[in-house]
């Protein structure tokens, strides 16, 4: 069964450093998303991406964040200068193909900012 994959599973970084979180969506999907979940809190939408551009972004997705689909398979989230409050689980999701009602979530990347 096709699945969304994410790497790394856990990333530890120092405050102020740049991180890139990587996702490989399901191959025939057209819509891509990043969500995050701070420990003990709800899943929050960050950004959606369709047709090689951002469709929508939340207030959380400020100038420190960017997304890219560099090669037609990977979908990346970059945080330019990490803050302590960026520590969270980051989930990539994709939608499309024959299952237009389901956003499939990847296993997540746990980001720890020290």
- Nearest approach, Cβ of 52 to another protein (angstroms)? 16
d(CA 66, CA 82): 12
- Nearest approach, Cβ of 32 to another protein (angstroms)? 11
65 touches another protein by CB under 8 A? no
Q: Report the residue number, 82 or 94, with the smaller CB distance to another protein.
A: 94
Give the burial string for 61-75 (b: 16+ CB within 10 Å, else e). Answer: beeebebeeeeeeeb
- Nearest approach, Cβ of 43 to another protein (angstroms)? 4
Going from the C-alpha of 97 to that of each of 7, 47, 51, the distances in angstroms are 23, 20, 14
* Site for another protein, rule CB under 8 A: 31, 33, 35, 41-45, 48, 50, 56, 58, 91, 95, 100-108
């Amino acid at each position: 069964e096709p699945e969304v994959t994410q790497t790394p599973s856990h990333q530890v970084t120092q405050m102020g450093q740049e991180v890139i979180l990587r996702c490989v969506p399901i191959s025939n999907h057209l819509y891509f998303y990043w969500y995050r979940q701070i420990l003990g809190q709800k899943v929050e939408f960050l950004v959606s991406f369709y047709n090689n551009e951002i469709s929508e972004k939340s207030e959380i997705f400020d100038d420190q964040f960017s997304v890219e689909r560099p090669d037609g398979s990977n979908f990346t989230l970059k945080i330019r200068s990490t803050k302590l409050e960026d520590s969270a689980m980051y989930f990539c999701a994709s939608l499309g193909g024959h299952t237009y009602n389901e956003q499939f979530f990847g296993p997540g990347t746990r980001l720890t900012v020290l």
